[in-house]
Amino acid sequence: MSLDINQIRGLFPVLHQEVHGKPLIYFDNAATTQKPLGVLDALANYYRLDNSNIHRGAHALADRATRYYEETREAVQQFIGAKESAEIIFTKGTTESINLVAKTFGRKFIGSGEEIIISTLEHHSNIVPWQMLCEETGAILKIIPINDAGEIIFEEFEKLLSPKTKLVSIVHASNALGTINPVKKVIEAAHAVGAKVLLDGAQSTSHLEIDVQELDCDFLAFSAHKLYGPTGLGVLYGKREVLEAMPPFLGGGEMIKEVTFEKTTYNDIPFKFEAGTPNIADVIAFKAALDFIKSLGKPAIKAHEDGLLAHANELLNDIKGFIPIGTAAEKVSVLSFNINGMHPFDVGQMLDAKGIAVRTGHHCTQPLMKRFGIEGTVRASFSVYNTKSEIEKLAEGIAQIARFKNK
Ligand code: PMP
C-alpha cells in the first residue's frame, strides 16, 4: 500500500518553513532525519510530567520513568528482532557503540598479530576505533577493496579471511554512496573462520528490515537520530553470550552489583554497559520514533524511497556534467554525485540558495573518497517525507548549476 506523504509531512513541523525565501527541501537525511510530533511531544512530556532518575527510585515518578525507559528497550528488541531486551544497550550513538566493542571485546579478545577486517566503504567511526586498538595491542587491520560501482569485492574479502581473523566490522549500508553490503554472506563467511561480526547499521536501520537473529550478526550498532529519533542516543545490540564474556566499558553507578574498596562485582547485561545516569528523555522519546516507523512499515518506506531514487536517476543521468559516484546495484536512497568542473561545496551552496539542503564533502569517509580519486561529493539523501516534486526541483537546480560549467 502506498503511503500518504502529505499526511506524513504534516507530522514534521520543521519541514514547513522557508530558507532563503524558498520552501525548504530537506535532502540531508543520511546526516540526520527530522523528528515527528510524537517524538517532540514525548520529549516535552517527559520533562513536564515524568522527570526522574530511573531504576533506583522508591517513588511513582521514578517507577514511571523506569517503565518508559525499559519499554523503549523492548521496542528496540522487536525492531531488530533480538532474542531478548537484555541484549540492547543504550549508548550515545553508533560511534560510541563501535568504540565500546573496540575497548571491551577488542582489548580482551583480539591480540597481537590477530586481524580485524573492515571495508573501503567505512565511516571514520568504523575505522579509527580499530586503528586505535591495533596501535594498543599490535592487532592488524585489513581492508576489503571495492569495485568502481562502490561494491565490496567478495572474493577479495574471502581471501582476507583466515583463522587469524577475530572480527569483521562492516557497514550495512554506506552513508557516502548508499551501497547495501551483502551482509548475510559476509557473516556466514566470517563465522566459518570463527570470527565475530559487527554491523554498522547507522544507515540501514531506517530503510531495511533487520532481523539480527536471522542475520546472525554478533553486534549491530546504530543511532536513534537517523531513525526519526533524538540526537546523542544510540544502540549496541550484542548476542548475550558475547556481551557476557566482555568486560565492562565505563565504570560507575548502575553498572555494579556490589562495590567494596577491595573488589567490585558487575551488574548483569544490559546494565553492565550503562554506567551513570543515562539519556533518559531521549530513550523514552525514541519509542515514539520506532512507533512512527512501525505504523508505516519498513517495506512501504523503502518502496517510497526507492521510487524517489529511481526518479532522481532518471532525471539526472542525462544532465551534461553530472557525475554519479557509487552506482551499486543494491542501494539505499542516497545519491552521491559531482558536477564536472565544480567543487562539491560550491554546488551545495548553490542548492542551499534554492532552499535545497544537501551535504557536501567527504562524509567522514576519506579513504573511500581517495579510492575514487576525489575530495568529496554532493550527497542528497531521501527519506519517507520527501516527494517526487522535490526531486524534480533538485534535478532542475542541478541542471541549472551544471550548465554554468558544462555548455
Ligand atoms: N556509521 C555510518 C555509516 C554513519 O552514517 C554514521 C553517521 N554519519 C556513523 C557511523 C556515526 O554515527 P553517529 O555520529 O550517530 O555516532
Pocket test residue of 32, 96, 99, 223 for ligand 1, highest count of atoms within 8 A of CB = 223
Q: Ligand 1 centroid to 205 CA: how many Å?
A: 12
What gap in Å lies between CA 332 and CA 210, rounded to an integer?
Answer: 14
More confident residue, 404 or 287: 287
Indicate which residue of 40, 141, 193, 364 is catalytic. Answer: 364
pLDDT digits (tens, 9 = 90+) for 91-107: 999 999 999 999 999 99
pLDDT digits (tens, 9 = 90+) for 9-32: 999 999 999 999 999 999 999 999
What gap in Å lies between CA 227 and CA 32, rounded to an integer?
Answer: 8
Q: Ligand 1 centroid to 59 CA: how many Å?
A: 37
Give the position of cell 549496541: 236
Ligand 1 atom closest to residue 94's alpha carbon, by position in its atom list: 16
Ligand 1 atom closest to residue 226's alpha carbon, by position in its atom list: 15
Q: Ligand 1 centroid to 171 CA: how many Å?
A: 10
Per the confidence metrics, is the pTM higher than 0.95? Answer: yes
Q: Give the residue-averaged pLDDT of 279-298.
A: 98
pLDDT digits (tens, 9 = 90+) for 255-279: 999 999 999 999 999 999 999 999 9
Q: Which pLDDT belongs to residue 56?
A: 79
Q: Could you give all domains of the chain from N- to C-terminal order, each with its CATH number?
A: 5-30+297-405 (3.90.1150.10), 40-294 (3.40.640.10)
Ligand 1 atom closest to residue 200's alpha carbon, by position in its atom list: 1
Residue 211 has pLDDT above 70, yes or no: yes
In sequence order, what are the residues at sequence separation of 6 or more whose Cβ sits closer than 8 angstroms to the Cβ of residue 108? 245, 246, 247
pLDDT digits (tens, 9 = 90+) for 33-60: 999 999 999 999 999 999 999 997 789 9
What are the phi and psi torsion angles at 269 (to 5°)?
-70, 150
Which residues on adjacent β-strands are paired with residue 238? 219
Q: Give the residue-averaged pLDDT of 367-386.
A: 98
Q: Which pLDDT belongs to residue 404?
A: 83
Q: Which pLDDT belongs to residue 108?
A: 98
Q: Give the residue-averaged pLDDT of 218-229.
A: 98
Q: Which pLDDT belongs to residue 2?
A: 85
What gap in Å lies between CA 63 and CA 61, rounded to an integer?
Answer: 5
Q: What percentage of the chain reaches a pLDDT higher than 90?
A: 97
Return the SS3 of 379. Answer: strand
What gap in Å lies between CA 162 and CA 115, rounded to an integer?
Answer: 9
Q: Give the residue-averaged pLDDT of 156-178.
A: 98
In sequence order, what are the residues at sequence separation of 6 or more whose Cβ sits closer than 8 angstroms to the Cβ of residue 398? 316, 319, 322, 337, 339, 347, 351
Which residue's CA is minimally distant from atom 4 of ligand 1? 202
Count CA atoms closer than 13 A to 353's CA, side-chain side.
9
Residue 1 has pLDDT above 70, yes or no: no
Q: Which pLDDT belongs to residue 248?
A: 97
Q: Ligand 1 centroid to 220 CA: how many Å?
A: 13
Q: Ligand 1 centroid to 174 CA: how many Å?
A: 10
Residue 394: band (very low, low, confident or very high) from pLDDT cuts 50, 70, 90: very high
Q: Which pLDDT belongs to residue 272?
A: 97
Ligand 1 atom closest to residue 93's alpha carbon, by position in its atom list: 16
What gap in Å lies between CA 109 and CA 166, rounded to an integer?
Answer: 8
Distances, alpha carbon 359 to alpha carbons 52, 279, 336, in Å: 38, 28, 9
| Residue among 208, 199, 205 nearest 33 (CA) | 205
> 76 near 236, Cβ under 8 Å?
no
Q: Which pLDDT belongs to residue 406?
A: 79
Return the SS3 of 397. Answer: helix
Q: What percentage of the chain reaches a pLDDT higher than 70?
A: 100
Q: Which residues line ligand 1 (CB under 6 A)?
A: 93-95, 123, 125-126, 171, 175, 200, 202-203, 223, 234, 364
- Cell numbers linked to 400: 541549472
Q: Give the residue-averaged pLDDT of 373-377.
A: 97
- Cell numbers linked to 106: 577488542
Query: Average pLDDT of the chain?
Result: 97
pLDDT digits (tens, 9 = 90+) for 107-142: 999 999 999 999 999 999 999 999 999 999 999 999
What gap in Å lies between CA 28 and CA 77, rounded to an integer?
Answer: 27
134 catalytic residue (yes or no) = no
| Residue among 80, 66, 136 nearest 104 (CA) | 136
pLDDT digits (tens, 9 = 90+) for 351-360: 999 999 999 9
What gap in Å lies between CA 392 and CA 395, rounded to an integer?
Answer: 5
More confident residue, 309 or 58: 309
